[in-house]
Amino acid sequence: QVTHTVHMSTLGLSSYHFNATFVGDRQLSPTEAFPTLVGDMDNSGSLNAQVLHLVAERIRTKAVFQTHQAKFVTWQFDGEYRGDDCTATLTLGNPDLLGESVILVAHFLQSVTSRLVLGGEMVYHRRPGEEGAILTLAGKYTALKWVATLNVGYGGAHASYYHRANEQVSV
């Protein structure tokens, strides 16, 4: 699918957008089809693009590119593994081998029982003169009428509780 959008205005800036979308024929669900390529470019040379691909039945990849007036702003690569009772994701953000900078994010969630899920996230960043990592641990317990979650990490702790009293009332 290809679309062109022209906006002409005497009050503000006029603009042009070119959007192209390709959706492959490998459909896993009504909302997931692979490969998928989406791109939008405007008249100033700014681009937003995503590529989603299913490498294997349980492994998905995604690449995101963003430019502003033909200069790279963001590039990000994701890999995700979906197991029967776990998920693992690795994200590489703005890798710059020459400038020795990178952002790396790793997630892991594991179903310990049918009601208890435990996991964590590690964020690592590096640039010249600066390097650091942050670890966050997470847990979720699901009962018949309520769900409780807890995240504990460098930034503190966050807890949540959801309770469904009946069909009309949830807290």
pLDDT score of 70: 76
pLDDT tens profile 136-151: 999 999 999 999 999 9
Amino acid occupying residue 11: L
pLDDT score of 134: 95
Question: How is the chain split into domains, by residue range?
Answer: 1-79, 83-170
Measure the CA–CA gap between 32 and 22, rounded to whole angstroms. 13
> Residues 149, 159: contact at Cβ < 8 Å?
yes
pLDDT tens profile 69-99: 878 889 999 999 999 999 999 999 998 878 8
pLDDT tens profile 9-26: 999 889 999 999 999 999
pLDDT score of 23: 95
pLDDT score of 80: 97
CA atoms lying within 13 Å on the CB side of residue 95: 10
Give yes or no for residue 165 having a pLDDT over 90.
no
Helix and strand tally (H, E) in the chain?
0, 12
pLDDT score of 48: 96
- Here the tokens at position 164 are 């469904």
pLDDT tens profile 34-74: 999 999 999 998 999 999 999 999 999 999 999 998 788 89
List Cβ neighbours of 127 (8 Å cut-off, separation of 6 or more): 99, 100, 101
pLDDT score of 69: 86
